[in-house]
Amino acid sequence: MPDPVTARHRQRMVRDQLADCPDARVIAAMAALPREDFVPPDARACAYADGALPISAGQTISQPRVVALMLAALRLAPGQRVLDVGCGSGYAAALLADLVAPGPVIAVERQSTLVEPARTRLAGRNVAVHLADGSIGWPGGAPYDAIHVAAAATEVPAALLAQLAPGGRLVIPVGPDGEQELWLYENGTRVSLGPVRFVPFLSGTA
């Protein structure tokens, strides 16, 4: 049975943090998805706080308003193919799956300890989670209509741009800690979505 306390917190998140989100489908998806299922048990009470939360392996689940900003910028539609780089707990992948169903979501995560828990949380959704180096994307699933990256790179990996479909969109934070900016890449151009703070984008697997 749904927890009425977390349901109220989720409604408050929508009211207080997502008011500026221009995509009604993104708001509806975030209003329906229990974020508390994607954080550690001792953080459930803070699941809807206005900030990022630690999960494990030195990773985080992003601030709700930043998640909404990124998803809205991707302008997702049913049937699209999406790559999620830095799957973490699986929260963004679940939202991506809900927004593009029945289209597939390929999620890659470099931390081996996060992969199986994410697969468990995402069971039954149109998401495939892989242990992989996010800097090379997932060529076997390309091209992608949208690529969502949840770690800050010093520069945009060329492999990710190469895996975009014509007209596809990539959202990625770029820059060192304290000086990161969120960028939308589309049709050879880029647009700033504002300052952000993410964990660093690392190559390889761990």
Per the annotation, the verdict on 62 as an active-site residue is: yes
Of the residues 62, 89, 135, 192, only one is catalytic, namely 62
Do 95 and 129 meet the contact criterion of CB atoms below 8 Å apart? no
DSSP 18: S
Positive/negative CA dihedral, 167, 196, 98, 147 = positive
Q: Tell me how far CA of residue 174 lies from CA of 8, 152, 189, 205, in angstroms.
A: 34, 5, 15, 20
- What is the C-alpha to C-alpha distance for residues 133 and 130, in angstroms, rounded to an integer? 9
- What is the C-alpha to C-alpha distance for residues 152 and 176, in angstroms, rounded to an integer? 7
**What is the DSSP secondary-structure string of 57-101?**
TT-EEPPHHHHHHHHHHHT--TT--EEEE--TTSHHHHHHHHHHT
- What is the C-alpha to C-alpha distance for residues 201 and 136, in angstroms, rounded to an integer? 12
Residue 35's CB is within 10 A of a number of other CB atoms, namely: 23
Active site residues: 62
